[in-house]
């Protein structure tokens, strides 16, 4: 489940779930980074200001104590006589510096070869409290220092400076930032889980709509969108349901029209054919009349076949077809194929090749309907053969899946790749001029489905076409 969730986020780049989660994580990380930077700044400022304020209070107390006790002696003498005046009020490093920047005293014993020239010293030399943060040569970490002037008779005679290393403060700041980042990472994990659950409530109904829409596109207009949320997704589902209802109504009207027209055409076509045949026995001075009557008979047969197909189609789509099952054998199917194709082989000059029956088994089928499928497939194969046409018949018994497979392979012109997936659709006509009304394969496919089998077509354009009839052994 975890791997599926991660793959949904990072691999399925175009999905709504991925977009929402990635955007949310990006915003969350941006906020965390901004907060981390802000927290780091304000925590450091708070720590440094606290240290600075403490040092300021301590240095002011130390200088006040000095002013009360030793203000009338020189700076050097005060340092020698009463160092405790400066160091007793603090744990910080204490420096006493003359106005030239020379360190007269350093409580940790550091020897300064160069004069002090820091900002805090300069400010203190001018009579104000100075503060500074920076690097010193005797410490790896930064230090914070506070400097204050030492006065005699209101004249600045030197500077006292309190210095504290920031190593401990920086360690505490790093711990606070680390704790915050760790908490943020834990929060991010929970956030991803929560946002995943939330997006799931959005994406799953959309996925359901997509699946239903695909089924509707394939002609399954009885499916409906159910249990959808009462939001825009639910409205879309209701719209799909309404669309399916309207299409079903229009489809029903179309089917009723086809059925009615087909029935109405049957009777006049029978009459036309009957009179065309009858009139052929009459004698006409013009031989063209007899030829015309034969054309009328031929075209009437063609129209009658089309009407029968339309009636069949109407029955199938209205689910009014009832199959009459009987037991037949593979040899019965072979016999029918031979009786149908052999006369045409001799007449039309193609070659028919077939495998011998090695194992004859019984099948339960509606033989008349199966014949209809076989005739349709063979007619198509013959119609689209090349000059050196060849049709091959093979069959296989798949005992594991309990199916019989009958292959009818021809070396005709084949089916273009863009048409292959559509040839079984209702009323689909290929680009070739030999294509008919687009119902034969659609009806044949429905017949095979009613048998619990299938009609599968494979082809390479310009080379061959193979139709596989798949029938269950025990249906």
In this structure, what token pair is assigned to residue 1? Answer: 């489940």
The domain in which residue 408 lies consists of 326-472
Q: Into how many domains does the chain fold?
A: 2
Assess if residue 95 is contained within a domain: no
Determine the pLDDT at residue 116.
93
Rg of the chain, C-alpha, whole Å: 49
Assess if residue 341 is contained within a domain: yes
Query: Same domain for 313 and 399?
Result: no
Query: Same domain for 283 and 359?
Result: no
Query: Same domain for 332 and 246?
Result: no
* CATH (domain of 389): 3.30.565.10
Query: Same domain for 447 and 337?
Result: yes
Query: Same domain for 292 and 365?
Result: no
Give the pTM. 0.50
Query: Same domain for 392 and 304?
Result: no
Q: Among 384, 372, 390, which residue's Cα sits nearest to residue 336?
A: 372
Assess if residue 149 is contained within a domain: no
Determine the pLDDT at residue 1.
46
Residue ending a domain, choose from 317, 343, 364: 317
CA distance 428 to 421: 11
Q: How far apart are the first and last CA of the chain?
A: 39
Exposure of 324 in the CB half-sphere (CA atoms within 13 A): 4
Q: Which residues contact 368 (CB under 8 A, 6 or more apart)?
A: 324
Query: Same domain for 304 and 397?
Result: no
Assess if residue 439 is contained within a domain: yes
Query: Same domain for 267 and 374?
Result: no
Assess if residue 352 is contained within a domain: yes
Q: What are phi and psi of 223, to 5 degrees?
A: -75, 150
Exposure of 385 in the CB half-sphere (CA atoms within 13 A): 22
Residue ending a domain, choose from 283, 317, 351: 317
* CATH (domain of 295): 1.10.287.130
Contact (CB, 8 A) for 365 and 471 = yes
The segments of the chain whose pLDDT lies below 50 read 1-3, 9-11
Residue ending a domain, choose from 317, 351, 370: 317
Assess if residue 355 is contained within a domain: yes
Query: Same domain for 238 and 366?
Result: no
Assess if residue 363 is contained within a domain: yes
Burial of 134 (0-12, 13-18, 19+ CB in 10 A): exposed
Query: Same domain for 449 and 392?
Result: yes
């Amino acid at each position: 489940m975890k791997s599926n969730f991660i793959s949904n986020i990072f691999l399925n780049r175009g999905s709504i779930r991925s977009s929402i989660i990635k955007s949310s994580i990006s915003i969350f990380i941006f906020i965390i980074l901004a907060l981390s930077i802000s927290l780091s700044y304000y925590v450091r400022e708070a720590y440094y200001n606290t240290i600075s304020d403490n040092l300021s209070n301590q240095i002011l107390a130390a200088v006040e104590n000095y002013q009360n006790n030793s203000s009338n002696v020189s700076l050097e003498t005060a340092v020698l006589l009463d160092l405790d005046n400066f160091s007793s009020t603090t744990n910080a490093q204490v420096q006493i510096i003359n106005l030239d920047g020379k360190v007269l005293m350093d409580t940790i014993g550091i020897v300064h070869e160069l004069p002090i020239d820091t900002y805090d010293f300069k400010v203190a030399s001018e009579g104000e409290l100075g503060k500074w943060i920076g690097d010193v040569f005797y410490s790896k970490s930064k230090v914070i220092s506070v400097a204050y002037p030492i006065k005699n008779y209101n004249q600045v005679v030197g500077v006292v400076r309190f210095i504290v290393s920031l190593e401990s403060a920086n360690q505490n700041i790093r711990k606070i930032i680390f704790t915050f980042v760790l908490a943020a990472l834990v929060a991010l994990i929970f956030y991803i889980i929560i946002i995943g659950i939330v997006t799931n409530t959005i994406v799953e109904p959309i996925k359901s709509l997509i699946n239903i829409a695909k089924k509707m596109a394939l002609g399954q207009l009885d499916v409906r969108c159910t249990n959808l949320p009462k939001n825009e997704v639910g409205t879309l589902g209701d719209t799909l349901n309404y669309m399916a209802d309207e299409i079903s109504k229009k489809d029903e009207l179309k089917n009723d029209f086809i059925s009615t027209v087909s029935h109405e055409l049957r009777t006049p076509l029978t009459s036309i054919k009957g009179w065309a045949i009858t009139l052929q026995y009459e004698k006409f001075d013009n031989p063209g009349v007899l030829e015309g009557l034969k054309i009328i008979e031929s075209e009437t047969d063609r129209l009658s076949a089309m009407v029968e197909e339309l009636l069949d189609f109407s029955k199938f789509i209205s689910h009014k077809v009832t199959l009459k099952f009987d037991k037949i054998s593979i040899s019965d199917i072979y016999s029918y194929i031979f009786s149908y194709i052999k006369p045409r082989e001799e007449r039309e000059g193609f070659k028919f090749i077939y495998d011998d029956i090695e194992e004859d088994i019984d099948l339960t089928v509606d033989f008349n309907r199966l014949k209809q499928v076989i005739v349709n497939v063979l007619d198509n194969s013959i119609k689209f053969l090349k000059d050196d046409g060849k049709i091959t018949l093979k069959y296989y018994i798949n005992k594991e899946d309990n199916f019989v497979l009958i292959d009818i392979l021809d070396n005709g012109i084949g089916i273009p790749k863009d048409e292959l997936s559509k040839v079984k659709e209702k009323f689909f006509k290929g680009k070739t001029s030999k294509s008919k009304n687009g119902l034969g394969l659609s009806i044949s496919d429905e017949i095979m489905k009613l048998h619990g089998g299938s009609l599968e077509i494979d082809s390479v354009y310009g080379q061959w076409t193979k139709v596989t009839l798949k029938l269950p052994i025990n249906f």
